[in-house]
Each structure stands twice: as structure tokens, then as C-alpha cells.
Structure 1
Amino acid sequence: MSLPALEDITAPIDGVVRIETSPREKATPIIMEMMRSVYPHDQVFGEFCTVNTYIDCPPDELYGYLADTRSLEEWTYSLRGFMRTEDPDLWLAYDRLGSETKIFTRTVTNRAAMTVDYHCAWDQGHHLWMVYLMRVVDARVVLNKPGSVVLWTNCHHPFYDDNPYPEAAPPQRPVWVGDFWDMFGAGHELELRNLKQIAEYRHRNGLPITPAWMEESR
């Protein structure tokens, strides 16, 4: 039997569950097996780390704030001291998780989709392999109320397990960014709460979401 939208596939594909081949009676046990009360940490945060939240703040304003790389100085836990490099789109800061560790950041944005992707790396700015993918969604569309929904995903790049540029690391540094991967879920949740509190405070008090010091130095 030909399935809708799959006319080019001549044989069943293992792992594809559709009502045409798996009626509800067959699919329900599969779904129930997926709905666990406890999930192994590696299953949730092994290859991907995703956190999200609702923020009572206009989406356009929140997007504009996140699109400025220097906002990371305010809402992240440990990135401080942002300064421009010779490449005006590449910023240098310090990640205090690694003591005197340099972190380089290039922010790639799409206003129409309200995506903000931070391409980063410890120690060197030539290969920005740590990519933080963020999207701002108008909450009126997905939650039927004013405000923003923020989606944030990280992928477990293999370099988290093995520093590809050990020669660029500061001497005697005891840690590598990948040492913290198991904490990314909780750490990013903490930072997302920071973002929520900062943005909602400013919106609640009639302040610009992007502070004046950022606007004035653009």
C-alpha cells in the first residue's frame, strides 16, 4: 500500500511509525514506553542539550537584545569583558569557568526567523566549533499570550571530548570546556533564568530591554 507523501519508498523503513502501518493499538505501547518517570542523564543530555522558557517581554525587543553579542556579559554565568577584535564581527571575552580562558564569539542572526546563533570557541578564534543555537518565538502564536518563548539547543561536538587546539590553551589550566558537558543542561537552565529575570525586570519597569550602554556604543 502506498503511503501519503512516501510514494518514492517501496519498502517499509524500520523505525518509521505512522498510522497507516501502525494503528493506534500498536502505537500506544510504543508511546507509553517512551513516557518514563525517570530518564537517564545521557539519554536527555548526551548528544544534544535543549532548554526553553517563557519570558514576559516583547519578542522583537528580546531578539534585539540577544542579537548583540555583549548581552552575554549580562545574562550568562561566566562570560565577561567583551571587546572587539580586528575582525569587527568577532568578539573576545573571558570565560571565568576556565580562569583566564579566552573565548571568541561571532553572532549569526536572522531577524525574520528571530534566530540568534553564537559561534564560539575557547582559546582561539579561527575555528568556532562551539555553537549555541537560539530562537525567539512570539508567544502569541504558540501560547496565545503576549511575550516570548526562547528555545536554546547545543550539540555535543566531538571537540568537547578532546581539545583540538591544546597549544592555544593557557599553561596549567586544569579544565577543558567539555569537562562541563554533563552540567550544560542545568547550567543553561540557570542562564536562561537569568535572561528571563533581566528581561522581565526591564519590561516590567518600562526600561529598554537592550540597555543604553549597548545602544550608545554601537
Structure 2
Amino acid sequence: MNPNPSLPADIPGLIRVENTGRDEVIARCAAMTEPAYPHEQVYGRYCTIEQYVDCPPEQVFAYLRQGHHLEEWTYSLRDFGPTGTPGLWMGDDRLAPGTRIYCRVAANEQAMTVDYHCAWDQADTLWMIYLIRVVPAELVLGRPGSVILWTNCRHPYYDDNPHPELAPAPDRPWVGAFWDLFYAGHTLEMANLKTILEHRHHSGSPVSVAPATLVGR
């Protein structure tokens, strides 16, 4: 019988203060820490980027939750419009000519999370999911503004297009072919997002804009 119900002694392999001394844990952690890491090891399955933005978190969240703003800060998403399905939008991903992208926004105001559920070519399975969280910088950095965390997970469809018959052309490159560049590409887009939010906030302009006023339409 386990004398301490809070200690999962029946689960092998756990490293806890009850069974491993501090010096051993420090030695293990040191052995796990490398001076450099291969790109595939860091970004092969998950791609996370982060950025500080000098703009109030409430305004950052309000901007991100309105999906039409993707036309401003992303590199290639343009011309979004509603479909016949409530909450589902369709636009062009100009990363590949003739490619339609479908998007649904899932936002939680209390947690300040904004997830973009997207897919190329079809809307039945929105498997390209961009997970974004807005954190008040006052809480984590002790300064005004926001910290934006953005994660992508490498869904199996990135490696294998589930609907090649829907591609606008047989030689259209697949989105998964760009996975190794996701960190760099998303870092450029995050820089766009930071620039837009800070420019409008510092100038006293409204951070969010109506869809009809977007540039590049």
C-alpha cells in the first residue's frame, strides 16, 4: 500500500524530490542541455515563436480575434469573405497561385486565446491550426504591453496532402513543403503584427479596423 496517496509510487520512471536528490537532478539537467540544437530537433514537430508588443493585451486580443486582420499582418493571406457556413471564411493564400484557404476563428476572451482553424483547398477538415495566446506583459515581464505566444503543431497532413485532387494545378507546391521555414516565416509575420499594433497604439489610432479599410484587397 502506498503510505502517501499523493505520491504516485506505482508509476515507474518519475523524477521527483521524494526519489531523486537535487545534485542528481542538476546533473541530469546539465547532461540534457546542449550548446546548440539541430533545427529539426527544435522545430521538427512543434513551431513556437513569441514576441513582446507595446500595446495593451485587450486591444491585441480584440485585433487578433477578428479574422479579417489576417490580411494585414500575414505575408500571403488575402481577400477573405464569408462562405455560406456561419463563422467560416474563405480567402486566397498567395503563397501558391490559385490556392483557396478556409478559416474559422476560435477565440476565448477570458483566456485571451485566439486559434485560427484553417485548411487549403477544402473546408471539411480544418487541420492547419494556429494557436495564439495573448499574455499581459505586466504579469510576466513587469512592464506594460503584451506577450504573444504562437504555436503550430505538425499535423500529418503537412507531410501528405489528403486531397491532391483539389489542388488548382498538379504542380502546385504543398504547404507542408515549407515546414522547415515556418519558424523564419512566422517570425517575419510576427514582426508585421508587432509593427502594426505598436504603430496604431503609439499614434492613438484605433488598433482594429473595419474589413473594407484593409490594404491589399
TM-score (norm 2): 0.92
Counterparts of 1:72 and 1:4, CA distance in 2: 52
Please tell me the residue identity of whatever aligns with 2:84: E
Q: Distance in 2 between matches of 1:185 and 1:6?
A: 40
RMSD: 2.0
Structure 1, unmatched stretches of 5+, are none
| Aligned twin of 1:39 | 37
Kindly indicate whether the alpha-carbon contact (under 8 Å) linking 2:101 and 2:118 is maintained by their aligned counterparts in 1: yes
Rounded to whole Å, the distance in 1 between the matches of 2:3 and 2:103 is: 46
The whole-number CA distance in structure 2 between the counterparts of 1:108 and 1:3 is 45
Who is 2:107 aligned against? 109
Shift of the alpha carbon at 1:4?
7.3
Aligned to 1:197: 195
Residue 88 (structure 1) aligns with: 86
* Paired-residue identity, %: 50
Aligned residue number for residue 67 of structure 1: 65
**Aligned equivalents of 1:64, 1:4: Cα separation in 2:** 47
Amino acid at match of 2:193: L
Cα separation, 1, equivalents of 2:196 and 2:64: 12
Mapping for residues 109-188 of structure 1, pairs under 5 Å: 109-188=107-186
Are residue 11 (structure 1) and residue 14 (structure 2) matched?
no
**Is the 2:68–2:211 Cα contact (8 Å) retained in structure 1?**
no
- Give the gaps of 5 or more residues in structure 2: none
Instruction: Return the offset for 1:33.
Output: 2.4
TM-score if structure 1 supplies the norm length?
0.92
- Count of residues paired in the alignment: 214
In the TM superposition, what whole-angstrom CA distance separates every residue of 1:91-124 from its partner, at most 9, and x where no partner exists?
Answer: 1111111111100000000000000000000000
Structure 1 residues 212, 120: closer, same or farther in 2, change over 3 A?
Answer: closer
